[in-house]
Amino acid sequence: MLLQSIIATELLTSLLNRIQAGGECPRSLELERGTASDSDTQDLPRDHRNAKRSDDVIAFNFTNQLLEGSAMSRTIGFVTCILSITLSLACSIDPSDERPGFGLSGEVHQQPVEDWSFSADAKEIFVETATPYFIPHSVTIWCVTLGNQLYVGAWEADTKHWVANVRRDPNVRLKIGDEIYEQKLEPVSDAATIAKLDARYARKYEYDAEDDADEGASTAHWRVVERD
């Protein structure tokens, strides 16, 4: 989290420096000082040339004001975006039912977990995944255990944002009870294990596994393991 906050701060500082560096319009300043080229007015009478130069000054100043106003609007938008990212990194917001959250709150479990059977009765747990835009994404998921191992899954996996995040970066944070477990999700591809998991899910959450399979939705399973 600290590293992500530093990245967001650096992005904001870089953005403000670029804005300050690009705030001048040399052409407008040249016209105001009377040093601009007369090539556009040399074929006009003297009085008309002076009037033409005055009109040019007004036109360039007006254009600069529009550009500066547009740049200011973009600046406000970018700064608001960066501040929103920084705020989301600084705050921990757990998901709730179908509403996703950001970073998970809680005390991080420091010791490796060899026996996950304590989580067998947990109906719902939270999983936090890493996104490409540095804002953590967390959702509520189901879980089951086989032996001492913990497994998580996703129905209609190809439609889930958190699944896409896991396929890109398998390192996750799980919240079970009040504790955070920093783990890694390992895909399960063994047909026999998947069949056991489907049966375990159906028994734990009280639904018909055969009816669920008949719907043809893609289901993905992962084993929870220690990070590398």
Indicate the length of the chain as a whole number. Answer: 228
pLDDT band at residue 31, thresholds of 50, 70 and 90? very low
pLDDT tens for 97-146 read: 889 999 999 999 999 999 999 999 999 999 999 999 989 999 999 999 99
**Mean pLDDT, rounded, of the chain:** 76
| Helix, strand or coil, per DSSP, at residue 140 | strand
Closest of 134, 136, 140, 135 to residue 175, by C-alpha: 140
Higher pLDDT, 63 or 159: 159
- CA torsion angle 117 122 126 129 (round to 10): 30
Torsional class of 16: left (φ above 0), alpha (ψ -120 to 50), beta (otherwise): alpha
Identify the pLDDT of residue 218: 75
pLDDT tens for 54-107 read: 555 555 554 555 555 666 667 776 666 666 665 555 568 999 988 999 999 999
pLDDT band at residue 193, thresholds of 50, 70 and 90? very high
pLDDT band at residue 219, thresholds of 50, 70 and 90? confident
CA distances from 218 to 7, 42, 199 (A): 36, 75, 16
CA distances from 175 to 38, 114, 219, 228 (A): 72, 17, 22, 19
pLDDT tens for 164-187 read: 999 999 999 999 999 999 999 999
CATH of domain 107-225: 2.30.110.10
What average pLDDT does the segment 47-52 reach? 46
Identify the pLDDT of residue 124: 96
Identify the pLDDT of residue 217: 64
Question: What is d(CA 209, CA 152) in angstroms, rounded to the nearest whole number?
Answer: 16
Ranges of each domain in the chain: 2-90, 107-225
What average pLDDT does the segment 18-28 reach? 42
